[in-house]
Amino acid sequence: MAVSVNEAVPAGPVRDRTPPARRVAGGRGRSVLEVVLLAVLAVVMLFPVLWMIETSIKENRDVYAVPAKFIDFQVTLAHYRDVFVAPGGGRSALSVAFLNSVLVAGVSTVLATLLGVPAAWAYSRFTLKAKKDQLFFILSTRFMPPVVVVIPIFLMYRTAGLIDTPLGLILIYTAFNLPFTIWMMKGFVDEVPPEYEEAAMLDGHTRLQAFRKYTLPLLVPGIAATAVFALIFSWNEFVFAVFLTSSDSVRTAPPAIAGLIGGTTVDWGLVAASSVVFALPVLLFAYLVRKHLVAGVTLGAVRR
């Protein structure tokens, strides 16, 4: 019996003959599997943080308990008090270190931003001789890790009298943050059309006035994102803080917390409480600029 072409091949598109109930069940099963995997990943990633927070509110006998106590332990805030108050009264060395970190990281971040934003704008807007080579040279200063250059910097600082001074740390942190700031901000400036500034100059504004009034407000998300990353570097930096400082009145928080670990016994409750307090300022700053941070990170995702 002969079969025609129209009978052998359907004229319309092939329909999905999978029952709707089976498709819904398969989609739900995949969603449940994704949620379970994400939950496991979140627990693995957050377990050290949760362990640190839990250790900071345990009494010492519960910290060293075997087997470890996860729920049935006595809650205490004595470790947080020891972070700020010395055993004999007055301010503790850790509280002074935290204040030094706030000063050094804050000032260096502000300086790197104030210097880096105009430099990035200039590299983005003007035609400079060997501009690519200059940008590569600026970026190359971040190729080497700090431990490689710490000895020459120490020798220069000793000659200049900057050893064990907050100014020395501010200058070196600013110098290391500046190349990163320039490169980050140049990408953000490139996303702002230069026609805005050209139109403002036609209205009688100078180039700097056009940058300040029209371009700079559009760069706020990028500045916030860049400032967060620069602050994180200055806040967490350890090598320079160890080699370039020696007294408790100048030392920042990272070497001060590391100094708690040593000797015959370690007060892990105090170490955990110090780590929690140390992490809070950066988290608070990132939370305050969260709207600008998200906008800055996603800026440039859609090309003009």
pLDDT block averages, 10 residues each, the chain of length 304? 52 57 63 88 88 88 81 86 85 91 94 93 87 84 84 93 93 92 89 88 89 89 88 91 90 90 82 91 82 60 46
Per the structure block, which two tokens stand in for 170?
């501010």
How far, in Å, CA of 46 to CA of 30, rounded?
Answer: 24
Q: Which stretches within the chain are classed as H helix?
A: 5-8, 20-56, 60-63, 78-84, 93-125, 131-140, 146-160, 166-190, 195-202, 207-210, 216-218, 220-236, 239-243, 253-258, 268-288, 290-298
Q: Considering the entire predicted model, what is its pTM?
A: 0.79
Using omega within 30 degrees of 0 as the cis cutoff, is the peptide bond preceding 118 cis? no
How far, in Å, CA of 57 to CA of 82, rounded?
Answer: 12
Ramachandran angles phi, psi of 248, nearest 5° = -65, -25
Per the structure block, which two tokens stand in for 28?
């739900």
Domains in the chain and their CATH numbers? 19-82 (no CATH), 90-298 (1.10.3720.10)
Q: Which stretches within 191-260 are classed as H helix?
A: 195-202, 207-210, 216-218, 220-236, 239-243, 253-258
Q: What is the pLDDT at residue 302?
A: 44
Per the structure block, which two tokens stand in for 171?
């200058």
Q: What is the pLDDT at residue 301?
A: 46
Would you say 189 and 223 are in contact if contact means Cβ atoms under 8 Å apart? no
